[in-house]
Amino acid sequence: HSSAGKYLVWGQNTEKSKCGDKLENLNRTLIINLYADENCTWTIVRPENKTIRLIFSHFQLDPNASCETENIQIYDGASVDSRLLGKVCSKSDYVPVFESTSNSLTFQIITSASIFQRTAFAFYYYFSQESRNTAVPNCGGYFDALTGSLVSPNYPEAHPEFTYCVWHIQVEKNYKIEVAFEEIFLELDDNCKFDFLAIYDGPSTDSGLIGQVCGLIKPMFTSSSNALTIVLSTDDANSYRGFSASYKAVYAEEVNTTSLTCSSDKMVVILNKSYLESLHYNEDNLQLNDPTCKPRVSNVIEFSIPLHGCGTIKKVEEHAITYTNIITIADSPPSEIITRQKHLQIIVKCEMESNSTVEIMYVTEDNIVQNESASGRYNVSMALFESNAFVTPLPHSPYDVDLNQTLFVQVTLHTPDPNLVVFLDTCTASPSSDFGLPIYDLIRSGCEKDNTSKIYPLLGHYGRFQFNAFKFLGTLGSVYLQCQVLICDSNDSQSRCNRGCVTRQKRDISSYRWKADSVIGPIRLKRTPNPGSGLDGEEREDLETRYQPGNSFHLLSFAVLALNVAIGAGMVMRHYVNRRKGYGYQKLQDC
């Protein structure tokens, strides 16, 4: 290697003054040999308006030592009292790269008492922020397509010196990434210390290192998730062609035949290539109702079909909304092998019914019909907000609130369909997330059942109401909220959503399109009362005493028992016992 004359070597046979140094060269390569009980510090001083990049391209520390007793620490400044940029030890699974923001950079190596020969290979150089921001062709970038290609700067010519490029590849979930290098032509070294490619199994260089390669090879790597990162690093000597590579996304799950998934905004169809091949078709023949909408092709064929695009047909039926599209085989010249071309259609449907979403796929081939179905749901979420502006949500669960605090609740339907509206049918509270008895009604059949509840007018995909925090009788410390919402067609003036509060007992026959439940909690009362709640000490003590289970609860039980004896209505008492189960709810009285 042509930089051999620039190596600095420290080790057991050198003077202690050689353990560490002040480095002021424009760039330098360091081979550092260390033994037991070493503590060495090097400081790199940069020129004005330059940034230092320090790369530990190879290091071997004692694998049995802990990261606390043996490590390399890097500081953004002229001493170990500066800001710590990072710490490297034998457990580190990446190629350490650090950049300064101050006028100098310091690194310190500490070794344990174990007998083990340590080695660290590092090099540093300076670069300007202006040169970093200058566009260098093919030096790094972000890729999100299912397929793509990347090459080193100047490829197939020699790569520049002191090149450092990072490529981030991230595709949709449920995919892995396969990257194949058609050519790697970098300086050959046993440990790839000088020029190298580092491949990381994730979205950044902090992810696990899959491999560090150099020389003349053509490797292939596969990620374990939907993200992969590739780094090219070179020094100032022996520049060669660099590399050329291509990648493709591979569906991570095994698909035997076909599958369909429905969500609030799209239908996703997965077709196995072998299934099409068994019918003597390939992905080039497939098209939707809108032939301009093409599938993504990897090891499977994936159609991501929007509910409001690509020729999807929406049909409003009694208590259901159906979205339908058809995958067909485009006209093509007859095959030399196939003597009779079959007519293939794949009909995909998402039926948003009253209590669920049904996913249906019909595969028709010359009157042969196959069918698949599964359960799914619209995406509905519920959140608590600070005010009736519904802008700032309360911090995440658990929710600690004050006595008598007004809570603002919003249920959101996640769908791009502008013709749907959300209606709050029933909202209840319970001490358990599975909403077993006892329960307490806040809203029932669209009517406000709690005297602090207030339902807001219909507002598209949002159902909103407010109520004041209440206290459970007994020792229950938290409460969960559940809202059942109805989804209606906003153009239907006679729908259940537009009828509002319904107090009559007989079955309501007005229409709605879909029903969903959303739960939030636990909501807890703060231990320390809020001084602004409007209750002084005596009032608060009176409230706590008034709602103890030994007072009003027992009094009410006695009255119910007396009534039961008087009129002989045993069913009333049984209903009461089942409903209350030893607990009770009370709203806080207005103060």
Q: What is the DSSP letter of 285?
A: G
Q: What is the C-alpha separation between 590 and 404, in angstroms, rounded?
A: 8
Its domain, for residue 447, covers: 380-500+513-525
Query: In 3-state terms, what secondary structure has residue 5?
Result: helix
For residue 548, pLDDT beyond 60 = no
What integer pLDDT is reported at residue 586 of this predicted model?
Answer: 36
Q: How confident is the model at residue 76 (pLDDT cuts 50, 70, 90)?
A: very high
What CATH number is given to the structural domain containing 177?
A: 2.60.120.290
Q: Respond yes or no on whether the N-terminal peptide bond of residue 334 is cis (omega within 30° of 0).
A: no
The reply to whether 295 falls in a domain is yes
Q: Which of 112, 132, 152 is the last residue of a domain?
A: 132
Q: Which strand ranges, in their side-by-side order, compose the sheet holding 440-444?
A: 399-401, 514-525, 478-489, 420-430, 440-444, 447-448
Task: Check residues 252 and 548 and name the one with the higher pLDDT.
Answer: 252
Task: Check pLDDT > 60 for residue 473.
Answer: no
Q: Which range among 11-20, 127-136, 242-251 shows the weakest confidence by mean pLDDT?
A: 11-20
Same-domain check for residues 103 and 168: no
Report how far apart, in Å, the C-alpha atoms of 215 and of each of 25, 93, 392 are. 28, 22, 56
- State whether 414 and 474 are in the same domain: yes
Supply the pLDDT for residue 547.
33
Last residue of a domain, one of 232, 251, 270: 251
Highest mean pLDDT among 7-11, 229-233, 579-583: 229-233
* Confidence check: pLDDT of 283 > 80: no
Q: Where does the pLDDT of residue 579 fall: very low under 50, low under 70, confident under 90, or very high at 90 and above?
A: very low
- Cα separations in angstroms, 294 against 65, 188, 270: 55, 44, 13
Residues 428 and 310 in one domain: no
- For residue 299, the domain's CATH number is 2.60.40.3210
Confidence of residue 576 (pLDDT cuts 50, 70, 90): very low
Q: Do 399 and 520 share a domain, yes or no?
A: yes
Shared domain for 157 and 291, answered yes or no, is no
Q: How close are the terminal C-alpha atoms of the chain, in Å?
A: 85
Last residue of a domain, one of 196, 222, 251: 251
Task: Check whether 3 has a pLDDT greater than 80.
Answer: no
Q: What's the average model confidence in pLDDT over 501-508? A: 65
The reply to whether 390 and 521 lie within a common domain is yes
Looking at per-residue pLDDT, the higher value among 15 and 574 belongs to: 574
586 domain residue, yes or no:
no
What is the distance, to the nearest Å, from the Cα of residue 172 to the centroid of all Cα atoms in its chain?
A: 11
Among 322-336, 439-453, 552-566, name the most confident range. 439-453
| Region label for 176, one of left (φ > 0), alpha (ψ between -120 and 50) or beta (otherwise) | beta
Please classify residue 343 by burial: count the beta carbons closer than 10 Å to its beta carbon, then call 0-12 exposed, 13-18 middle and 19+ buried: exposed
Least-confidence region, from 24-33, 79-88, 380-389, 471-480: 471-480
Q: What share of the chain is helix, strand, coil (3-state, %, to 5)?
A: 10, 45, 45
The encoded tokens of residue 116 equal 């083990």
d(Cα 498, Cα 496) in Å, to the nearest integer?
5
**pLDDT: which is higher, 316 or 184:** 184
Residue 363 φ then ψ, to 5°:
-105, 110
Is residue 358 domain-shared with residue 446, that is, in the same domain? no
What is the arithmetic mean of pLDDT over 163-185? 91
In a domain, 266, yes or no: yes
> Three-class SS string for 146-212?
CEEEEECCCCCCCCCCCCEEEEEEECCCCEEEEEEEEEEECCCCCCCCCCEEEEECCCCCCCCEEEE
Could you give the CA distance from residue 56 to residue 123 in angstroms, rounded to a whole number?
A: 7
Q: Which CATH number fits the domain that encloses residue 406?
A: 2.60.40.4100
Helices and strands in the chain: count of H runs, count of E runs: 6, 42
pLDDT level of residue 156 (50, 70, 90 thresholds): very high
- Residue 418 and residue 358 share a domain: no
Q: What percent of the chain has pLDDT over 90?
A: 31
Tell me: pLDDT of 520 over 60. Answer: yes
420 assigned to some structural domain: yes
Give the per-residue pLDDT at 177. Answer: 93
Q: Dihedral sign for Cα 437, 440, 445, 446, please.
A: negative
Structural domain count of the chain: 4
Tell me the per-residue pLDDT of 24-71, one tens digit each, with 9 for 90 and over: 888 899 999 988 999 999 999 987 788 999 999 999 999 999 999 999
Question: Is there a contact between 358 and 373 (Cβ–Cβ < 8 Å)?
Answer: yes
Specify the 3-state DSSP secondary structure of 550. Answer: helix
pLDDT, position 13:
34
State the pLDDT at residue 168. Answer: 94
How many Å apart are CA 242 and CA 342, to the nearest integer? 49
Q: Are residues 117 and 208 in the same domain?
A: no
127 contacts: CB under 8 Å, gap ≥ 6: 50, 51, 53, 162
pLDDT at 585 over 70: no
In a domain, 557, yes or no: no
The reply to whether 61 falls in a domain is yes
If one counts every other C-beta atom within 10 angstroms of the C-beta of residue 457, the result is: 6
Averaged over 444-472, what is the pLDDT?
A: 86
Least confident of 9-13, 169-173, 248-252, 292-296: 9-13
Those residues whose C-beta lies under 8 Å from the C-beta of residue 128, and which sit 6 or more positions away, are: 49, 50, 51
Give the pLDDT score at 125: 93
Residues 166, 217: one domain?
yes
Whether 530 shows a pLDDT value over 60: the answer reads no
| Residue 581 binned pLDDT confidence (cut-offs 50, 70, 90) | very low
Please, which pLDDT band fits residue 135 given cuts at 50, 70 and 90?
Answer: low
A 10 A CB-CB count for 279 gives 14
- pLDDT classification of 575: cutoffs 50, 70, 90: very low
Q: Is 369 exposed, middle or buried (0-12, 13-18, 19+ CB in 10 A)?
A: exposed
Are both 173 and 241 inside the same structural domain?
yes
Three-class DSSP category at 53: strand
- Same domain (yes/no): 150, 190: yes
Contact between 1 and 238 under an 8 Å Cβ cutoff? The reply is: yes
pLDDT band at 511 (very low <50, low <70, confident <90, very high): low
Q: Give, in order, the Cα–Cα distances in Å from 138 to each of 142, 230, 243.
A: 11, 13, 11
DSSP 3-state of 512: coil
State residue 466's pLDDT score: 92
Determine contact, residues 430/479, Cβ cutoff 8 Å: yes
Judge whether 508 lies within some domain.
no
Note whether residue 282 is domain-resident: yes
332 residue type, one letter:
S
Q: Is 359 helix (H, G, I), strand (E, B) or coil?
A: strand
- Region 516-529 average pLDDT: 66
Distance of alpha carbon 452 from alpha carbon 454, whole angstroms = 7
> For position 372, what pLDDT does the model report?
38
Q: Given the structure tokens 């358990």, which residue do they identify?
A: 432
Mean pLDDT of the chain: 76
For residue 193, what are the contacts with CB-CB under 8 A and spacing of at least 6? 57, 58, 121
